[in-house]
């Protein structure tokens, strides 16, 4: 294969170094050298093709071996997967059966425990109801006895109060004359008080009238003295004599 590339490189070099033909794109190359290089290429290609075919055959063998190995691996994997799935299904069935048995056992235990609790609760409720009934009967009996006692006591108190009222009524009836005499005496005292009040009011009115008359005389004398004093001040006759207007009563 290396000789083919080498011959091709030499051909390229010959063409590049060849003399050109004027007025054309052609060139003049040495025929013998070119033919020799082409023969070398022709001789080298069959061997290279054989090598390439060997490579292709080896590739096909490798691909076949790989495909066979892959198919074998896939078959083995499928078998192992099927076996694994079967084992897993068996394990799952076994675990499910165990879980179901355990769940049934737990349900049975829970049901038994619940029934026991219900039975105990029913017994406790019956006991509580019986105790409450006894307490109710006891309280009712005591309340009834206390009610009867209070009723009897009330009746006795009522009868005693009625007796006391009748006795007091009789006593008050017996004291009616005394009450009438007291009313007469109180009326007399009230009349005497009214008369004394009228007398004192008359004396008081007389005293006040006397004092007011004296005060009136005093004020009249004062007014006359003030008038004379003002007259004397206006006329300039001298010092006014205020004491003369009082008529000596002030002294």
Q: What is the pLDDT of residues 2-45, one digit of tens each?
A: 677 888 888 888 888 888 888 888 888 888 888 888 888 888 77
Mark which of 174, 200, 225 sits at the end of a domain.
174
Calculate the CA 2 to chain-centre distance.
94
Considering the domain architecture, whether residues 183 and 92 belong to the same structural domain is answered as no
Q: Which domain holds residue 199?
A: 176-246
Considering the domain architecture, whether residues 184 and 88 belong to the same structural domain is answered as no
The DSSP bridge partners found for residue 20 are 27
Mean predicted lDDT score pLDDT of the chain: 81
In this structure, how many other beta carbons lie within 10 angstroms of the beta carbon of residue 95? 10
**End-to-end Cα distance, the chain:** 184
Considering the domain architecture, whether residues 180 and 154 belong to the same structural domain is answered as no
DSSP-derived letter for residue 25 is S
Tell me if 251 is assigned to some domain.
Answer: no
Long-range Cβ contacts of 80-86 (<8 Å, 24+ apart): none
Considering the domain architecture, whether residues 145 and 229 belong to the same structural domain is answered as no
Alpha-carbon distance of 156 to 248, in angstroms, equals 91
Alpha-carbon distance of 79 to 152, in angstroms, equals 106
Considering the domain architecture, whether residues 7 and 46 belong to the same structural domain is answered as yes
Considering the domain architecture, whether residues 98 and 194 belong to the same structural domain is answered as no
How do residues 51-88 score in pLDDT, each as one tens digit? 777 788 888 888 888 888 888 888 898 888 889 999 98
- Helix 176-235 vs helix 31-174: angle between axes, to the nearest 10 degrees? 100
In this structure, how many other beta carbons lie within 10 angstroms of the beta carbon of residue 7? 19
Helix (H) or strand (E) holding 46: helix 31-174
Residue 239: pLDDT above 70? no
Q: Are 245 and 224 in contact (CB under 8 A)?
A: yes
Considering the domain architecture, whether residues 17 and 50 belong to the same structural domain is answered as yes
Over residues 91-105, mean pLDDT: 90
Rg (CA), the chain: 80
pTM: 0.29
Number of structural domains in the chain: 2
The DSSP bridge partners found for residue 28 are 19
pLDDT band at residue 241, thresholds of 50, 70 and 90? low
Considering the domain architecture, whether residues 81 and 139 belong to the same structural domain is answered as yes
- Helix 31-174 vs helix 2-17: angle between axes, to the nearest 10 degrees? 110
Dihedral of the CA atoms 43, 47, 48, 49 (nearest 10)? 100
Token match 């006040």: residue? 208
pLDDT band at residue 250, thresholds of 50, 70 and 90? very low
Considering the domain architecture, whether residues 48 and 138 belong to the same structural domain is answered as yes
Considering the domain architecture, whether residues 124 and 235 belong to the same structural domain is answered as no
Residue 251: pLDDT above 60? no
More confident call, 209 vs 238: 209
DSSP-derived letter for residue 28 is E
Residue 142: pLDDT above 70? yes
How far from 26 is each of 8, 15, 19, 29, 34, CA to CA, in Å?
Answer: 19, 10, 9, 10, 15
Which of 49-53, 125-129, 144-148 is predicted with the least confidence, judged by mean pLDDT? 49-53
Considering the domain architecture, whether residues 36 and 96 belong to the same structural domain is answered as yes
| Structural tokens at position 204 | 């008081």
How do residues 147-184 score in pLDDT, each as one tens digit? 788 888 877 877 887 888 788 777 776 666 666 777 78
Cα-flanking dihedrals φ and ψ of residue 19, to 5°? -75, 140
How do residues 101-117 score in pLDDT, each as one tens digit? 998 999 998 888 888 88
The DSSP bridge partners found for residue 81 are none
pLDDT at 158: 78
pLDDT at 174: 66
Considering the domain architecture, whether residues 139 and 239 belong to the same structural domain is answered as no
pLDDT band at residue 207, thresholds of 50, 70 and 90? confident
């Amino acid at each position: 294969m290396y000789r083919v590339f080498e011959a091709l490189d030499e051909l390229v070099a010959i063409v590049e170094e060849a003399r050109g033909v004027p007025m054309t794109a052609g060139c003049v190359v040495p025929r013998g050298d070119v033919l020799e290089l082409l023969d070398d290429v022709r001789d080298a290609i069959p061997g290279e093709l054989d090598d390439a075919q060997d490579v292709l055959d080896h590739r096909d063998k490798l691909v076949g071996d790989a495909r066979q190995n892959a198919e074998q691996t896939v078959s083995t994997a499928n078998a192992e997967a099927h076996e694994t799935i079967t084992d897993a299904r068996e394990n799952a069935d076994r675990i499910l059966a165990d879980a179901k048995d355990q769940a049934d056992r737990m349900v049975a235990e829970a049901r038994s425990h619940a029934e026991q609790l219900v039975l105990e609760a029913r017994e406790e409720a019956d006991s509580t109801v019986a105790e409450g009934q006894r307490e109710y009967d006891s309280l009712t009996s005591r309340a009834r006895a206390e009610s009867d006692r209070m009723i009897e006591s009330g009746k006795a108190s009522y009868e005693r109060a009625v007796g006391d009222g009748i006795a007091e009524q009789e006593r008050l009836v017996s004291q009616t004359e005394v009450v009438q005499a007291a009313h007469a005496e109180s009326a007399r005292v009230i009349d005497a008080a009214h008369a004394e009040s009228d007398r004192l009011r008359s004396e008081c009115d007389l005293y006040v009238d006397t004092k007011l008359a004296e005060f009136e005389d005093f004020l009249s004398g004062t007014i006359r003295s003030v008038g004379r004093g003002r007259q004397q001040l206006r006329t300039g006759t001298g010092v006014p004599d205020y004491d003369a207007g009082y008529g000596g009563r002030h002294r």
